[in-house]
A and B are shown apart, each in its own frame.
Chain A
Amino acid sequence: MQPESEKIELRIAYLEELKQWVFNAFEVGQNLNEVFSHVKADKSDVEIFDAVIEQLEQLYGFSKMAFMLVDEKDNDFSLIACKPNVMQDQIQAEIDGQIKCGNFAWALSQTKACVVHSSTMPTTSVLHVLSTKSRVRGMFMGVTEKKIDDVNDSMMSFLTMLLLGIANTLESRELYRYVNEQNANLEKLVTSRTKELEEARVEAENASKVKSTFLANMSHEIRTPMTSVIGYAEWLESGSIDESERQEATGAILRTGRHLLKIINEILDISKIESQKIDLEIMAVPLHNMLEESARLLSAQALAKGLKFEIKHSFPLPKIIMTDPTRLKQILLNLCSNAIKFTDEGEVSIDVVYEAASGKIKFSVNDSGIGIPAESIDSIFESFTQADSSTTRLYGGTGLGLNISKRLAEMLGGTIEVSSVLGEGSCFAVTIDPGESSGDDFAENYAAFSKTIAVQQESSDPVKLARLSGKVLVADDNSDNQRLVGFHLGKRGIKVVMADNGQQAVEHALVDDFNLVLMDMQMPVVDGLEATELLCSSGYSAPIVALTANASKEDMDKCLAAGCVDFLTKPFDKRRMNQVLEKYLPLAGVNESEQSIETLDKEFEALTEKFLLSLPEKKLNIEVALASQNWSELKSLMHQLKGTSGGYGFPDLGDAAAKVESLLKSQDTDGVDKLMKDFNEEFQKVVIS
């Protein structure tokens, strides 16, 4: 038995040692704290664990140490750091041994150090899980030369604290990395979004700039002619002008008015194309006719500038093409008008060729004009762009035509290409898809080409318009329009009755006899559409023609569905107006058989009466001629009666007169008395009736 003093000695030594250890532990704690505070910096796991191992070695005197971490991919433990490095194999063998004997698993389930016999050597192994509240992150193993019983519990508790700290540090480091990564991603996302937004902003700004420029140009383009319209109109209103000045003013108003209308139509075209609202009306079109019609308009323009204009055909050409003739003509007229506008001498031509390879027709509009600078060629198809803004002042134009033409050409299955040599001329080549055409439809020469279709030649020249007869009801709430239409109709000899709204239109139409009704579609009280529907459902038989400012196909269809037979768009195209009038009204004085029954009924009565009243005088003339044997006079009188009697409903009198006339024609006067007796009998019948 040890003496008491010796026990105390031992006890003191032990406490002394423990005190030393606690000091060391503080130091290690401090050092590790230092290590942990640096984990946010870019230190690798290995570096951290090496530092930890160093501290633990100092404190615990482990001869071998190892840190294993859970591999997130396969949930397996892999060795991340060990000491001494050269003994890695032995260390790994010890770990495997602990796994095999189940100590490893036991340690995983504990939150404290598991002190066990080493499996591969006569030492003691300390296994300690590396875990946080959320999950197991790894395992620590230390090998000490001490006996199991000599391993101090307090020291092991401190190990638990240290390792918990390490595990938490690892976790926060991971979170920190994750947050950093998210931040980086977010930053990247924000950057790319910002870039996208910026691009969108620039694009929107550009678009808005283009629109503003467009609007500015447009309002300028519209304001300029408006100024002269108003100016000249004010001048006219002042009244203190002579005839030539008046002509000048009205001429200018008409000219600028037409120009304005053109601008407005083109703007509408563009907006229709942009909103894809243009409906093509594809139909079979005789190519020769289409070209001739265009040429008629263009030759006059060219001639006015002293230019030659011609169409050059490269045969074979299809006789019939499938396209929208209105749009195709619009393209050709636009390109040719441009060509003429920019050419001061020489010629403008359209070269027409069928390109068998592509199956398309090419119309090349060539001119010998000023040409287009190379740097401007790409932009001439943009809205409101002319090669040089000064050209606008010099040559006028809206700058919309080419843009429209190109888009229309694309809608017709082709495109427009341009080539030009500055100062020598330009070539605008339009291709369109002419649809399917069979071999027989091709003309090999001009004779065959031009003979293909007999067409009605509608003259664009102002010809003397024949007088028409009949009565027309004009329903329009706008008194200016009323006067305009009234004037136009009056000029052609047509009687006109006005209605200010749909109600008046219906009431007039039902009471009075009209050959034709011109019905404005937008009117107060009852609009034209409703009035037309009412009239048609009431059995109204005179043709009703719609007047409308809305020239869309949808509106036209609505008018036709309501019962209109045709339509005129405002402002009125005089030629269309004349076409409509000529279609529905009879010519004055001739073709009376074509007159509608209404007119006949009334006019006929009046005319018949007039005819009957004139008969006694005619009879007297006839007696005189007969008595004086003035055969030629008698013949001419009989000729007149032959022509008119039948028309007034007295065919027998006409026949009798015809017989007398034909007898006198044959220079035979012998039978005159007999025939005159018959004639007189018929004459009496008529007079008595």
Chain B
Amino acid sequence: MATLDVMIVDDDVASRDLLSGMLRTQFQAKITSVADGVDAMRMCRDKSFSIIFLDIEMPRTDGFEALKVIKSLHPNQFVAMVSGHSSLDYVKKAMGMGANGFIVKPFSTSRVQAVIDKYTAEK
């Protein structure tokens, strides 16, 4: 499998580190980390990623806004939303906006695995 080129968007350093550690060690992914939606959108202006893990609750630009912009730049960009809440409204909203995955913090490797499997299957 080709190397996964992943971007992690999360304002919380600990969450970012945990996910990037997991992706690096278990899935040998190449990681780009940014701390908010504005940076994420900036990154996406120039390139697309295999998968973007996009936190929903962020200051300045939240995950939904970032998702909207990212999808408008790259409609086929695979985006997995990450959230501290499992609220159905969030899930429905995200899926309705074209998100490709939804995982809830704290998550186990298997959830990340499932998202990567889905990405691989849809690619």
Spell out A's residues near B (CB within 8 Å): 502-503, 506-508, 510-511, 513, 526, 534, 537-541, 596-598, 601-602
**Which chain B residues lie closer than 8 Å to A506 at the CB level?**
86, 88, 91
Q: Is the CB of B110 within 8 A of A510?
A: no
Checking A511, A534, A540 against B114 with a beta-carbon cut-off of 8 angstroms, the contacting residue is A540
Q: Is the CB of A538 within 8 A of B102?
A: yes
Checking A513, A539, A541, A601 against B80 with a beta-carbon cut-off of 8 angstroms, the contacting residue is A539
> Of all chain A residues, which has the CB nearest B117?
A541
Complex CA gap A502/B88 in Å reads 9
Q: Is the CB of B108 within 8 A of A513?
A: yes
**Which chain B residues lie closer than 8 Å to A601 at the CB level?**
108-110
Checking B80, B86, B110, B113 against A507 with a beta-carbon cut-off of 8 angstroms, the contacting residue is B86
Complex CA gap A502/B89 in Å reads 12
Q: How far is the CB of A496 from chain B (nearest CB, A)?
A: 19
**Which chain B residues lie closer than 8 Å to A507 at the CB level?**
86-88
Contact A538/B91 with A506-B86, A510-B103, A511-B104 known, Cβ cut-off 8 Å: yes
Q: Is the CB of A597 within 8 A of B110?
A: yes
Q: Is the CB of A534 within 8 A of B108?
A: no
CB contact list, B56-94 vs A, under 8 A: 80, 86-88, 91-92, 94
Complex CA gap A322/B42 in Å reads 62
**Which chain A residues lie closer than 8 Å to B91 at the CB level?**
506, 510, 534, 538
Q: How far is the CB of B28 from chain A (nearest CB, A)?
A: 18
Q: Is B100 an interface residue (CB 8 A)?
A: yes
**Which chain A residues lie closer than 8 Å to B87 at the CB level?**
507
Q: Is the CB of B88 within 8 A of A503?
A: yes
Tally of A-B residue pairs with Cβ under 8 A?
60
> Of all chain B residues, which has the CB nearest A597?
B110
**Which chain A residues lie closer than 8 Å to B92 at the CB level?**
534
Q: Is B101 an interface residue (CB 8 A)?
A: yes
Complex CA gap A160/B11 in Å reads 122
- Interface residues on chain B, number (Cβ under 8 Å): 23
Q: Is the CB of B103 within 8 A of A541?
A: no
Q: Is the CB of B110 within 8 A of A598?
A: yes
> What are 17 sample pairs from A and B whose C-beta atoms fall under 8 A apart?
A507-B87, A510-B102, A513-B108, A534-B92, A537-B95, A539-B80, A539-B101, A539-B114, A541-B110, A541-B111, A541-B117, A541-B118, A596-B110, A597-B113, A598-B108, A601-B109, A602-B108
**Which chain B residues lie closer than 8 Å to A502 at the CB level?**
88
Q: How far is the CB of A649 from chain B (nearest CB, A)?
A: 15
Q: How far is the CB of A508 from chain B (nearest CB, A)?
A: 8
Q: Is the CB of A526 within 8 A of B88?
A: yes
Contact A597/B101 with A506-B86, A534-B91, A538-B95 known, Cβ cut-off 8 Å: no
Checking B95, B103, B104 against A534 with a beta-carbon cut-off of 8 angstroms, the contacting residue is B95
Q: Is the CB of A510 within 8 A of B100?
A: no
Complex CA gap A369/B92 in Å reads 64
**Which chain B residues lie closer than 8 Å to A537 at the CB level?**
95, 100
Complex CA gap A526/B113 in Å reads 27
Q: How far is the CB of A108 from chain B (nearest CB, A)?
A: 93
Q: Is the CB of B104 within 8 A of A513?
A: no
Q: Is B115 an interface residue (CB 8 A)?
A: yes
Q: Is the interface of A mostly helix, strand, loop or mixed?
A: helix
Complex CA gap A537/B94 in Å reads 10
Which among A510, A601, A602 has the greatest number of chain B C-beta atoms within 10 A? A510
Complex CA gap A508/B101 in Å reads 16
**Which chain B residues lie closer than 8 Å to A597 at the CB level?**
108-110, 113
Complex CA gap A507/B103 in Å reads 11
Complex CA gap A511/B91 in Å reads 12
Complex CA gap A507/B115 in Å reads 17
A-B residue pairs, 10 tightest by C-beta: A541-B114, A538-B102, A539-B101, A510-B86, A539-B118, A507-B86, A503-B88, A597-B110, A510-B104, A539-B115
> Of all chain A residues, which has the CB nearest B81?
A538
Which among B88, B102, B113 has the greatest number of chain A C-beta atoms within 10 A? B88
> Of all chain A residues, which has the CB nearest B89?
A503
**Which chain A residues lie closer than 8 Å to B103 at the CB level?**
510, 538-539
- Contact digits for B29-61, partner A, Cβ 8 Å, 1 yes 0 no: 000000000000000000000000000000000
Complex CA gap A150/B118 in Å reads 124
> Of all chain A residues, which has the CB nearest B106?
A511
Q: Is the CB of A539 within 8 A of B110?
A: no
Complex CA gap A503/B86 in Å reads 10
> Of all chain B residues, which has the CB nearest A511?
B86
> Of all chain B residues, which has the CB nearest A531?
B88
Q: How far is the CB of A390 from chain B (nearest CB, A)?
A: 59
Q: How far is the CB of A411 from chain B (nearest CB, A)?
A: 40
Contact A513/B95 with A506-B86, A507-B86, A539-B103 known, Cβ cut-off 8 Å: no
> Of all chain B residues, which has the CB nearest A526?
B88
**Which chain A residues lie closer than 8 Å to B113 at the CB level?**
541, 597
Complex CA gap A167/B99 in Å reads 96
**Which chain A residues lie closer than 8 Å to B108 at the CB level?**
513, 597-598, 601-602
**Which chain A residues lie closer than 8 Å to B86 at the CB level?**
506-508, 510-511
> Of all chain B residues, which has the CB nearest A525?
B88
Taking A510-B104, A601-B109 as given, write out 8 further A-B residue pairs in contact, using a Cβ cutoff of 8 Å, ordered by the A residue number. Answer: A510-B86, A510-B103, A511-B86, A513-B108, A538-B95, A538-B102, A538-B103, A539-B102
> Of all chain A residues, which has the CB nearest B95?
A537
Complex CA gap A508/B115 in Å reads 18
Complex CA gap A534/B86 in Å reads 12
> Of all chain B residues, which has the CB nearest A537?
B95
CB contact list, B3-48 vs A, under 8 A: none
**Which chain B residues lie closer than 8 Å to A540 at the CB level?**
114
Complex CA gap A467/B48 in Å reads 48
Complex CA gap A506/B92 in Å reads 10
> Of all chain A residues, which has the CB nearest B110?
A597
> Of all chain B residues, which has the CB nearest A513?
B108
Complex CA gap A507/B92 in Å reads 11
Q: How far is the CB of B75 from chain A (nearest CB, A)?
A: 16
Complex CA gap A510/B102 in Å reads 8
> Of all chain B residues, which has the CB nearest A501?
B88
Complex CA gap A598/B110 in Å reads 6
**Which chain B residues lie closer than 8 Å to A508 at the CB level?**
86
Q: How far is the CB of B115 from chain A (nearest CB, A)?
A: 4
